[in-house]
Structures are given as C-alpha cells and as structure tokens.
C-alpha cells in the first residue's frame, strides 16, 4: 500500500509541475507565473488538508469518559504511564 501512495504522490507532483508550466531546464529561473502557480497549489492544498483534518477531529466521537476508558485499558495492558 505504501508503494501505491508513493506512486500517486509522484503522479500528483508531476501533474502539478506540468500544469504550472515548470521547465526543468530553467532551473531556479522559472517564470513568475510558474512560481505563483506553485505557491498557490502549496497554499490551497495545505488549507484543504487542514480543513479536512479539523472536520475529522470535530466529528470524531470521543468524550472525556471514553478517553479515560481507553487510557485505563492501555495501562492494564502495559502498566501505568
């Protein structure tokens, strides 16, 4: 499964680089539009993942009592923390 993840992330990076107009022959002298495109992709994708993570945490059904029960179960298995 890890190899699939690596493959998909490499594919995603390749797509982003092509769509942004990145030219490897230019090295660090990319056009301003290319740099702006890459910055926008970085900012937007980071914001999207952060929002998704917050949504998952918000809807994750854990209460203080459930956390204590989980801690007690773990301590019973491996000893006090």
pLDDT tens per residue, range 21-76: 999 999 999 999 999 999 999 999 999 999 999 999 999 888 999 999 999 999 99
State mean pLDDT over 1-19: 94
Which residues are CB-neighbours of 22 under 8 A, at least 6 positions away?
30, 34, 38
CA 1 to chain centroid, in Å, comes to 17
Instruction: Give the residue extent of every domain in the chain.
Output: 2-78
pLDDT for 1 equals 84
């Amino acid at each position: 499964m890890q190899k699939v993840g690596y493959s998909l992330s490499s594919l995603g990076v390749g797509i982003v680089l092509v769509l942004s107009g990145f030219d490897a022959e230019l090295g660090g002298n990319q056009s301003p539009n290319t740099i702006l495109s890459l910055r926008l992709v970085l900012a937007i994708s980071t914001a999207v993942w952060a929002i998704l993570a917050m949504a998952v945490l918000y809807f994750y059904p854990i209460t203080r009592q459930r956390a204590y029960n989980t801690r007690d179960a773990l301590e019973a298995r491996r000893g006090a923390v």
